[in-house]
Amino acid sequence: MSRVLKDWITRYLDFVENTEPSLLYKEWTAISVVAAALQRKCYLPWGHLTFYPNMYIVLVGPPGSRKNTAMDTGHNFLRDANIKLAADAVTRAGLVQELDAAQHAELSDKGLKVHASLTVFSEELSVFFGYDERQMVAVF
């Protein structure tokens, strides 16, 4: 598939230019959208190993700094592109079920490739993990 845009992140930043969040929040949201869209379709073979990019991006700032506003636009892009998104709040068992449901198989010239890519866009990290879910944090 050929590129539609030469630089997707720059175009995204142009798209959200007149919105309230800081440039830093907009940039990291754009990076997270690209990472989510890549799923496990992008990798680096290294000898007998294969490395897959994996990102944990957390926007940190005081209340009212428009973190959620920055995230909403990226979330909408992913939803419209049919990228698998996790629920905003989930138990450990629920997360495992969502990962299982996210399994996707694609046939390529190298055979069948199966992955379970799942993106989390949670407005509050403590809501996603739960207030006392130490076991959930251990998963990550």
> pLDDT in tens for each of the 140 residues of the chain?
677 888 999 999 999 999 999 999 999 999 999 998 888 888 888 999 988 878 888 899 998 999 999 999 999 999 999 888 887 766 677 777 877 777 888 887 878 888 778 888 777 766 666 655 555 555 55
Spatial neighbors of 96 by CB under 8 A, at least 6 apart, are none
Residues paired with 51 in a beta bridge: 44
User: DSSP readout, 50-111?
Assistant: EE-----------TTS-HHHHHHHHHHHHHHTT--B--SS--HHHHHHHHHHTEEEEEETTE
Rounded CA-CA distance 30/14 in Å is 11
pLDDT of residue 130: 64
Total-model pTM: 0.76
